[in-house]
Amino acid sequence: MTDETTHAVAFTPEDLPTARSFFLPHRIVMMLVFAAFVVAVAVFMRWDWLPRYLPRLGWGILVSLVMLFSTAILGFLLAVPIGLVQVTGPWFLKLPAKAFCTVIRGTPLLLQLWLLYYGLGSLFPQFPAIRQSFLWPYLREAWPYGVAALTISFAAYEGEVMRGAFGGVPHGELEAAKAYGMGRWTMFRRIWLPRAIHRALPTLNGETVLQLKSTPLVATVTVVDVYAVISKVRQETFLTYEPLLLLALIYMCLTGILVVAFRTFENRIPTRGA
Amino acid sequence: MAADSLVNWGLLSLSAPGWGGVLLQGFLNSIQIAVGGFTLGLALGVGGAFGKLYGGPVLRDLLECYTTIVRAVPELVLILLLYYAGTDLLNQVLALFAIGPVDISGLMAGIFVIGVVQGAYSTEVLRGAIKAVPAGQIEAARAYGMSPTKVLRRITLPAMLPYAIPGLSNLWLIATKDTALLAVVGFSELTLVTRQAAGTTKAYLLFFLAAGALYLALTLISNVFIGMIERHARRGFAESR
């Protein structure tokens, strides 16, 4: 597996259309056709269930976003040491980090999630020490397992990215820092980490978009995110297409917003030349 | 509970009381879907990449919509949509021709779903790879009077291969892991049969770890072959990493 997992896969800022590109004759025709399609969908399909479920859908979107950002932040905090020890660490840290990345990246996220939820979830109640601990009220819920699985997965993919980023920081910059008399920690904090993050930023953003696409998996372990709300709608209204189309639209909007936000964020970081 | 009573290895045996055979059958299904989906995706990707690079403006925009939608919507949602919509549409088309509804096998539906998702990704991978082929080589081929299909067969496809292989091998690994998502629509691939086995025997950790080992083995073995293919495809390249 190469580091550039997300290069072609993730939706990146380059894929966004520009405002001017819409005013081409064939695009105007296509947009009219699309508009007619949207109107047909709105008129001929059943949407009367929508107002009833709107508040729940809002909560679901919120849960999905909380899942996304909490696991992305936690995962990134884990990924920095995982990437770092693979570049400079001693073998007894390097080896487990490498094994962690390989194992997590080599197995499906759904399986990891179910392993944590059903496997560990069935194991924990057998230990009285855990049942009596303060953690037990949380461990009986589903969301900690969802957060754990998503965090671990993000950390593994990011750890690999950060390994490449740490290794790719030019050696001269680190030598210059040493020549200035910086200690190891200062050098890491001021030079190595910021430069590595800068290098990895496009990939990190791509991974975050991919992470958004992984969040609906937590619905399979009874976390009520937007996907679970839509599943509920489908069960209660016996509709097949309408809820799924809405769900696809919601995720497209979320991806679009995320990508636009990342682009403004990336543009604010000064770069020199090309 | 003692540690040794937690592990009942007999549950993994291949014959009836054990679930090993069921697991392996599910694993076989997963591999079949991954191979089929990846191949279908590759075919869609070749067409999509050429359409995006050399097609007319309308075709280009339609392909752009396809890749954008697939890359912006979670695979799980796409799988549900394609699974229901695909089978539904097929039956409606068949009804138009006055043929009764057919039962689409889960395998075919799975291959179709994974293939459509993979097609969008491989379109992007192959488009990048084709653009990496030096334009002079294609011009030279045209100057020799080769027809477009001959240029494709003799120059573009072989020359882009080294650039495409890293991306395509990633897609293969993604395909093997995406098959697990078909568990959600009830197709009995490895992840779903694992859950059934675990649910029946209550040996959750054992079965999920066993399935994880199978997936991991598939990935690691694939990596060995990918390395060999990559070395072969890059044999004419100078060693500069």
Spatial contact of A158 and A207, defined as CB atoms under 8 Å apart: yes
Using left for φ > 0, alpha for ψ between -120 and 50, and beta otherwise, residue B211 falls in alpha
Max intra-chain CA distance, chain B: 78
Distances (CA, A) of B213 to A14, B10, B207: 38, 17, 10
A255 near B CB under 8 A? yes
Length of chain B: 241
First to last CA, chain B: 53
Q: Which residues contact A111 (CB under 8 A, 6 or more apart)?
A: B180, B191, B194, B208, B211, B212, B215
**DSSP assignment, residue B152?**
I
Q: CA B123 to CA A215: how far, in whole Å? A: 25
pLDDT over 50 (residue B5): yes
Question: Would you call A115 helix, strand, or coil by DSSP?
Answer: helix
**For the stretch A54-64, what's the b/e string if a residue is b when 16 or more beta carbons lie within 10 angstroms of its beta carbon?**
eebbeebbebb
For chain B, the structural domain boundaries read 21-233
Q: Using one digit for the tens of pLDDT, what is the confidence trace for B90-102?
A: 888 888 887 766 7
Q: Least CB-CB distance to A122: which of B169, B204, B216?
A: B204
pLDDT over 60 (residue B35): yes
Question: Would you call B23 helix, strand, or coil by DSSP?
Answer: helix
Length of chain A: 274
Please tell me the CATH superfamily of domain A54-268, with its number. MetI-like (1.10.3720.10)
Of the listed ranges A29-43, A93-107, B114-128, the least confidently predicted one is A29-43
Q: CATH fold of B21-233, please?
A: MetI-like fold (1.10.3720)
Determine whether A264 is exposed, middle or buried from the number of CB atoms within 10 Å of its CB (0-12, 13-18, 19+): exposed
Query: Is A111 in contact with B180 (Cβ distance < 8 A)?
Result: yes
- Which chain B residues contact residue A128 at CB under 8 A? none
| Residue B126 structure tokens | 């192959």
Query: Is B204 in contact with A119 (Cβ distance < 8 A)?
Result: yes
Q: Which residues contact A72 (CB under 8 A, 6 or more apart)?
A: A154, A208, A211
- Which chain B residues contact residue A109 at CB under 8 A? 177, 180
- Which chain A residues contact residue B215 at CB under 8 A? 106-108, 111
Query: Is B174 in contact with A9 (Cβ distance < 8 A)?
Result: yes
Q: Least CB-CB distance to B125: which of A8, A11, A110?
A: A8
Place of tokens 């599910």: B26
For chain A, the structural domain boundaries read 54-268
Nearest-Cα distance to chain B for A46, in Å, is 16
Query: Is A216 in contact with B72 (Cβ distance < 8 A)?
Result: no
**For the stretch B117-152, what's the b/e string if a residue is b when 16 or more beta carbons lie within 10 angstroms of its beta carbon?**
bbbbbbbbbbbbbbeebeeeebeebeeeebeeeebb
pLDDT over 90 (residue A216): yes
Query: Is B215 in contact with A10 (Cβ distance < 8 A)?
Result: no
Q: CA A217 to CA A40: how far, in whole Å? A: 31
Q: Which of residues 93-132 of A touch B (CB under 8 A)?
A: 102-103, 105-112, 114-115, 118-123, 126
Nearest-Cα distance to chain B for A239, in Å, is 11
Query: Is A213 in contact with B167 (Cβ distance < 8 A)?
Result: no
- The number of helix segments (H) and strand segments (E) in chain B equals 10, 0
Question: Would you call A208 helix, strand, or coil by DSSP?
Answer: helix
Q: Using one digit for the tens of pLDDT, what is the confidence trace for A77-89?
A: 999 999 999 998 8
Q: Which residues contact B197 (CB under 8 A, 6 or more apart)?
A: B11, B19, B22, B23, B203, B207
Q: Least CB-CB distance to A114: which of B77, B125, B195?
A: B195
Q: Using one digit for the tens of pLDDT, what is the confidence trace for A167-210?
A: 999 999 999 999 999 999 999 999 999 999 988 888 888 899 99
Residue in chain A closest to B209 (alpha carbons) equals: A115
Label residue A129 by pLDDT band (50, 70, 90).
confident
Spatial contact of B206 and B7, defined as CB atoms under 8 Å apart: yes
Label residue A2 by pLDDT band (50, 70, 90).
very low
- Which chain B residues contact residue A4 at CB under 8 A? 166-167, 170
**DSSP assignment, residue A34?**
H
Query: Is A248 in contact with B205 (Cβ distance < 8 A)?
Result: no
Q: What is the ipTM of this complex?
A: 0.86
Q: CA A264 to CA A105: how far, in whole Å? A: 30
- Which chain A residues contact residue B223 at CB under 8 A? 1
Nearest to B138 by CA among B124, B121, B125, B155: B155
pLDDT value at residue A3 = 44
Label residue B1 by pLDDT band (50, 70, 90).
very low
Between CA A101 and CA B225, with CA B126 as vertex, the angle to 5 degrees is: 45
Residue in chain A closest to B166 (alpha carbons) equals: A2
Place of tokens 């920690």: A185
Q: Least CB-CB distance to B167: which of A8, A115, A241?
A: A8
Label residue B16 by pLDDT band (50, 70, 90).
low
| Residue A177 structure tokens | 């820092």
Residue in chain A closest to B61 (alpha carbons) equals: A27
A203 near B CB under 8 A? no
H or E stretch covering B117: helix B106-132
pLDDT value at residue B6 = 55
